[in-house]
Amino acid sequence: MQNNSLNRFFATLRYLRPYSFYACMNAICNIFAVVFSLFSITMVIPFLQLLFDKQALQLEAPTESAFTIAGATSRFNHFLSQLIVEEGKRSALIFICVLVMVMFLLRNFFRYAAMWFMAPIRNGVVRDVRQEVFDKMLQLPLSYYSEQKKGDLMARSSSDVQEIEYSIMHTLEASIREPLTIIAYLGAMLYISPKLTAIVFVVLPIAGVIIGTIGKTLKQASRKAQNKLGEIISMIEETIGGLRILQAFNAEPYQKARFRENNNEHFRLMNNMLRRRDLSSPLSEFLSISALVVVLYVGCQMVLNEKGIHPEIFIYFMVIFSQVIPPAKALTSAWYSIQKGMASVDRIQDVLKVPLKIDEQTDAKEISDFQHEIEFRNVSFSYEETPVLKNINLRIPKGKMVALVGPSGAGKSTLADLLIRFHDVTEGQILIDGLDIREIKLSALRSLLGVVTQEALLFNDSVHNNISLGRSNNEQEVFAAGKQANADTFVRKLDQAYQQHIGDRGTKLSGGERQRLTIARALLGKPSILILDEATSNLDAKSEQLVQAALKELMEERTSIVIAHRLSTIQKADLIIVMKDGEIVESGQHQGLLANSALYSHLVQLQEMSEKRS
């Protein structure tokens, strides 16, 4: 399990590739910081030994190579000895003090430089992960969103991504710097006393096993907390969207109680998680001090029994060992943070690994026009194990209006969704001019289509951007589409006209105004094929009249597939398809179906009765 966490952690580091220069510079700066930190400590002890006559002055020039530890140490002692003889102990002391200050200055300079190079890495990786999640969300099949809570997806693309920045990228520098520091100090300790260092190598892994075991439970607690946060965000999103209903049914106390229960559970899980995380620092410090005490005891025994180590060297060893504790403590905290962040990595990977059910062939064709007909040939579709459409055969010639009618759940919307390729057929083919739509580039296929849904789907943006939707920045084309959709008149009355922001889902506009903007959006694309999910069913009489006029303009000389709710609007359709339980049971024109189809006649009667009641 721990190896899996490490593998996923290193897999996350693939996001570092675009920032390899910054990563290399960060590593180089950290190496220099460690070197200057080690030198600032190691140069003091031999100087004090020479200064207080604990070691004889080394006046003869060393013969060892300067590129070995022994040679470098011998040359430094020779230099200090000459300085003490020629300038006196006071001057030598001043020199060492200044040199230590310079070493610490350089150490901190390189520490800051390492953090300076780390900043674009941390922020860049978070940006890239967030962008990848968002891009994936745009590609996911619609069926995925019917199974998942939108609030949980929002949490994964926001709080989980931010958790990666805080828990992993924030500790990434420590994950690079602290091991370098520990290795450098352990190397110095190994040079001073291999025997005492061997004891350290025995004691520290025991501490590492204990820390790793607790860290594994931290990841599990963190994932539970993040999942619960997703549920909370989902509840907030649902509450805002359904506030009208909650207030109308006096359901506020019920919703408050539900939210309080989830909120309290998240509170409990967060307490559990943070207590485990906060255990890292005191636990690592206790284990480090325990190791220090063991080494102190063994070392003192060696000094007292005169077994190969002098008191000054032992003190020197202990000073360096004490410097291992802070980086070891920081590395432990980093490990705990990484474990906490890996829960968010897993949740994000759950989204990124969702297979795309709509695959585009590598040799998919680019088409720019629709010439002859659309054909549904022996089309069947099942959602998981549930059959939705069964053996549909239908031809729609270019320029004709075809209406789909039938009771709720008959499969009308699914049939249209298959043409848009929101889903792919389970059996059979859908062809445009004899070409299977799965052999057409998805962007090319959808550029042929214009869609107007029953619910006017708008974004919290300007009127202009809602009409263009990224396809055209030509204002004259947008204005022309607005005029054709009977929207230009009311848009011009807005404070900022086409640059006016219309609020979340267009709430600053009326239902009819919103629908006319969606018709303008469809007109701007100049589609060859229209899919209309009865765009007037939720409008008052005046708004319906304006929208119907806009739809007439939209449908002029275009092939139209109309999902009909108000049967009075499709009486002039070239072909009416009557569907029931996923099958086509009747087809024809209005008068013929009214005379010969019991189901169609029944639907018309129900519609007339409904209109009379309203």
Q: How large is the average pLDDT for residues 186-209?
A: 75
Question: Which residue do the tokens 């100087």 mark?
Answer: 47
Query: The pTM is what?
Result: 0.67
CB 247 within 8 A of CB 267: no
Q: What is the pLDDT of residues 264-320, one digit of tens each?
A: 888 888 887 777 777 766 776 677 777 778 777 877 877 777 666 767 677 777 777
3-state secondary structure 573-599: CCEEEEEECCEEEEEECHHHHHHHCHH
152 closest CA partner among 144, 25, 168: 144
| Under 8 Å between Cβ of 481 and 467 | yes
Distance between CA 267 and CA 404 in Å, rounded?
51
- 613 has pLDDT over 70: no
CA atoms within 13 A on the CB side of 122: 20
Range list of β-strands (E), 409-508: 427-432, 435-436, 449-452
* Residue among 381, 379, 367 at smallest CA distance from 433: 367
Query: In the prediction, which pLDDT does 489 show?
Result: 82
The single-letter code of the amino acid at 490 is: F
Residue written as token pair 């013929």: 592
403 burial class (0-12, 13-18, 19+ CB within 10 angstroms)? buried
Closest by CA position to 140, among listed 322, 324, 318, 352: 352
User: In the prediction, which pLDDT does 70 show?
Assistant: 54
Q: Is the pLDDT of residue 547 over 80?
A: no
Q: Token digits for 258? A: 């539900």
Q: Decide: 517 and 487 in contact? Cβ < 8 Å.
A: yes
Please state, in angstroms and as integers, the Cα–Cα distance from residue 472 to each residue in 466, 467, 558, following that order: 11, 9, 21
Contact 390, 401 (CB under 8 A): no
Mean of the pLDDT values across residues 359-382? 83
pLDDT digits (tens, 9 = 90+) for 122-176: 888 888 888 888 888 777 777 677 666 777 777 777 777 777 777 766 676 677 7
Q: Phi and psi (nearest 5°) for 386?
A: -100, 115
- Residue 381 backbone phi and psi in degrees, to 5: -145, 135
List the Cα angle 58/60/61 in 5-degree steps.
110
d(CA 336, CA 215): 5
**CB contact set of 161 (below 8 Å; sequence gap of 6+):** 126, 129, 130, 133, 344, 348
Beta-sheet strands, E only, within 426-572: 427-432, 435-436, 449-452, 529-533, 559-563
Mapped onto helix, strand or coil, the DSSP state of residue 380 is: strand
Predicted local distance difference test score (pLDDT) of residue 32:
86
Question: How is residue 498 written in tokens?
Answer: 């086409």
386 forms beta bridges with 383
Q: pLDDT band at residue 198, thresholds of 50, 70 and 90?
A: confident
Asked if residue 563 lies in contact with residue 416, where contact means CB atoms within 8 angstroms, the answer is yes
Other Cβ atoms less than 10 A from the Cβ of 102: the count is 12
- For 189-256, the three-class secondary structure string (H helix, E strand, C coil) is HHHHCHHHHHHHHHHHHHHHHHHHHHHHHHHHHHHHHHHHHHHHHHHHHHHHHCHHHHHHCCCHHHHH
Residue 67 has pLDDT above 60, yes or no: no
**Closest residue by Cα to residue 167 from 339, 302, 327, 42:** 339
Where helices occur in 140-193 by DSSP H, the ranges are: 142-147, 150-157, 159-164, 170-192
Query: In 3D, which of 30, 91, 325 has the Cα closest to residue 204?
Result: 325
* pLDDT for residue 100: 77
CA distance 180 to 30: 8
Distance between CA atoms of residues 406 and 590, nearest Å: 14
Q: How confident is the model at residue 1 (pLDDT cuts 50, 70, 90)?
A: very low
Q: Is the pLDDT of residue 371 over 80?
A: yes
pLDDT band of residue 4 (cuts 50, 70, 90) is: low
117-126, 336-345, 381-390: lowest mean pLDDT where? Answer: 336-345
Tell me phi and psi for residue 537, to 5 degrees: -70, -25
Across the chain, which distance is largest between two alpha carbons, in Å?
123
* CA dist., res. 117 & res. 106, Å (int): 16
Q: What is the average pLDDT value for the chain, to the nearest integer?
A: 76
How wide is the angle at C-alpha 184 spanned by C-alphas 181 and 185, nearest 5°?
85
Token pair 């939108």 in the structure block, residue: 150
CB count in 10 Å sphere of residue 351: 19
Q: Which one is predicted more confidently, 547 or 70? A: 547
Higher-pLDDT residue of 92, 426: 426
Top pLDDT among 208 and 198 is at 198
- Measured between its terminal Cα atoms, the distance across the chain in Å is 64
pLDDT digits (tens, 9 = 90+) for 35-56: 887 776 666 666 666 565 555 5
Q: 515-548 burial, b if ≥16 CB within 10 A, otherwise e?
A: bbbbbbbbbbbebbbbbbbbbbeebeeebbebbe
| Half-sphere exposure (Cβ direction) of 475: Cα atoms closer than 13 Å | 4
Contact call for residues 498 and 475 (beta carbons, < 8 A): yes
